[in-house]
Amino acid sequence: NNMGHIQQIIVLANSYKEGGLCVAGKNLVTRKWIRPVNDSHGGSLPKSTYGNIKLLNIITQNLTQHVPLIEQPENFLVSHSTVNISGNCPRSELNNLTDHPKDLWMYGSKLDRVTPQEIYLNQSNHQSLYLINIKALKIIVEGNYCGNSKLVGEFYYNGVQYKFSITDPEYCKYKNNPIGFTKIETNKYLCLSLGAFFEPTGHHYKL
């Protein structure tokens, strides 16, 4: 169906992704996850169109077809029409939007990444997006292997400690702090996503 259909999406993620932005959210009516993408390979969205979209905006978007990948089954192709901001979702509504997975992609032994093989073996119950509520998020500036600083978030979910990279533009300002900087924020809703395949390490990272 090339006519596509108009969907209203509550925006729960708008973060940096190679060369553009990754936007994702839940359909206002069905509460199902949708990740609008630029091509069938999950291509990022242009900053020119999506740069001014804020979290909890409700956007109206014409999506032409479902283009699922094994690792990202929620992908829908955007038509090159405009995106309209048609309202806002109150933060109090987030409680009704949260997911309650048992764990966060614990297919592999490493907590911040999975292999394509692990996803393939678990694809029957796989989704690449979750919205969870946690008591506390510890934001940490770490040094990576080439001496640059990277921003990670550490938190507990269902008794397991996780530590994922943070890609939210609002939080990237914390990267200006020296390595070792930490900050704790309480009662947070986190939108978690499995990233695209990262060739150098052969993994999909949890973000």
Reduce the secondary structure of 59-80 to three states and give it as a string.
EEEEEEEECCCCCCCCEEEECC
On the question of pLDDT at 141 being above 60, the answer is yes
More reliable by pLDDT, 36 or 4: 36
Q: Using pLDDT thresholds of 50, 70 and 90, give the confidence band for residue 1.
A: very low
Q: 144 versus 106: which is more confidently predicted?
A: 106
Q: Which of 46, 63, 75 is nearest to 7 (CA)?
A: 63
Q: Using pLDDT thresholds of 50, 70 and 90, give the confidence band for residue 42.
A: very high
Q: What is the pLDDT of residue 3?
A: 56
Res 81: pLDDT? 73
Integer Cα distance of 172 and 169 in angstroms: 5
Does the pLDDT at position 18 exceed 80? Answer: no
Query: Lowest mean pLDDT: which of 56-65, 121-130, 137-146, 180-189?
Result: 137-146
Measured CA to CA, the distance from residue 96 to residue 125 in angstroms comes to 21
Specify the pLDDT at position 82. 82
Is 146's pLDDT higher than 80? no
